[in-house]
Structure 1
Amino acid sequence: MIPVSISDHVRTACPQLVLGLISCSVTNSTFEPGLWEEIHAAEEYVKARYTLEQINKIPAIQATRTAYKAFGKDPNRYRPSAEALCRRIVRGIPLYQINTLVDIINLISIRTGYSIGGFDADKIEGTLTLTVGTADDHFEGIGRGVLNIDGLPVYKDSKGGIGTPTSDNERTKISTGTTHLFLILNGYSGKEGVEEAVKMSVTLLEKYSHAVQIEEKLL
């Protein structure tokens, strides 16, 4: 398990924050039919239950947006990833298929509203600290180019930022060659629901990526 700490700045602004951490060895693949059956079912559930205007009221999403505002970031301009996924579904845009590990993470986000950091653990340098980004931080979001993370909560290793609730970084992204996974579920709404989301994540990882050597922790 990679050590993770939370800065005083984040802890003071977000006293209810609870992180769900998962470390495991995995076998990634390009596509899992059974997983996509579950994803399509989750898409139908979201479309049937929510309008665009209701998505940001989902408790976990609303709490992440509140955290953004506490740090001075506009959550309508830099949407948390779980919100962006659910909005995409409600707008009738099919989810993109990346690889099995990323697809699992997206399914968990859709079901829970948590924005999740998913990293190739072998690409992380040293320990991680959850802090707040500054204007001096250079951050290349996955598929987004350079992202302005000033005012965003960000996980940093010894080389710089690797993940925000809006986007993770190209440097530590998951590929089909990833064999060691590190997941962080960002529970800005408090402890309730985080433990259940961790258990769901482990079940999906075991089922679709043959996860072993699994470690779990709430922080």
Structure 2
Amino acid sequence: MIEAIWVDDAVTELRPDFHVLAIGAYGLRNGPSDERSRAWLAGAAAAGVGPDHENVLAWQDAYRAFGAKPQRTRPSVDALVRRLPPPEINLVVDAYNAISIRHVLPIGGEDLAHYEGTARLVRASGEEPFDAMEKGETVIDHPEIGEVVWRDDRGVTCRRWNWRQCVRTRITESTTDALFLLERLAPMSLTELSAAGEELSALLREISPGVRVESRLVSPS
């Protein structure tokens, strides 16, 4: 799965410094939040990172590059550091949210059982379907033309680069195989991106000792 992931040239033109570390985890045994995951989140929150961090500002600039208003639809890491302590979701989501806060980078998680085809980051045509939750019900929405989106063969899996994930591929307590996308812009170094990936992999192995983990750095074309 991760060997086929790609980033479209139209996205690279916006931010040539963009890299994504893709991590595949197979054989997870997820579950509800517990004392371990609460400690991960609390430890990350204790670092006191705020929305004025240079990594957050870089993502705000990236959003403006494709016409989004980051004050209205915030990059995921921006929204997360404004909401400390972060919410408890489940073990796996708590793990990647803790790493996201600690390293100040957006991380997305996808349930591969509900994924179709190859993950790719593209600029939208505006016709792609996106299933969202509104007032407790699933509705079908569409991205704006030119919006940066993650998608698979079925439709958009995450709008505005990393703003909002679709309902279909969310990681739940029943997820066993998952894809994680750790997204980097300068000034974050590739060394720190790699360290974040190693920390996330370690937490996944703590949650599920038998999990198989693989990773790949997707660089600009």
Is TM (by shorter chain) over 0.5? yes
Distance 1:67 1:170 in 2: 24
Select the residue among 28, 31, 52 that pairs with 2:30: 28
* 1:6-21 mapped onto 2 (5 Å cutoff): 6-21=7-22
Identity percentage over the alignment? 28
Secondary structure class of the residue paired with 2:120: strand
Secondary structure class of the residue paired with 2:110: strand
Distance 1:142 1:105 in 2: 22
| Shift in Å, 1:45 | 2.2
| Shift in Å, 1:67 | 1.2
Which residue pairs with 1:97 in the alignment?
88
With over 3 angstroms needed to count, the CA separation of the structure-2 counterparts of 1:65 and 1:147, relative to structure 1, is: farther
| Shift in Å, 1:81 | 1.2
Select the residue among 177, 180, 183 that pairs with 1:180: 177
Structure 2 unaligned runs (5+)? none
Which residue pairs with 1:39 in the alignment?
41
Which residue pairs with 2:156 in the alignment?
161
Distance 1:184 1:129 in 2: 11
Secondary structure class of the residue paired with 1:217: strand
Which residue pairs with 2:71 in the alignment?
76
Q: Which runs of at least 4 in structure 1 moved beyond 4 Å after TM superposition?
A: 142-148
More helix by share: 1
Secondary structure class of the residue paired with 1:96: coil
- 2:105 is equivalent to residue 114 of structure 1: yes
Distance 1:7 1:68 in 2: 16
Whether the 8 Å CA contact 2:112–2:179 is kept in 1: the answer is yes
Distance 1:152 1:75 in 2: 13
Secondary structure class of the residue paired with 1:214: strand
Whether the 8 Å CA contact 2:127–2:143 is kept in 1: the answer is no
With over 3 angstroms needed to count, the CA separation of the structure-2 counterparts of 1:212 and 1:169, relative to structure 1, is: same
Distance 1:211 1:133 in 2: 38
Question: What is the count of residue pairs matched by the alignment?
Answer: 208
Whether the 8 Å CA contact 2:44–2:99 is kept in 1: the answer is no
Secondary structure class of the residue paired with 1:162: strand
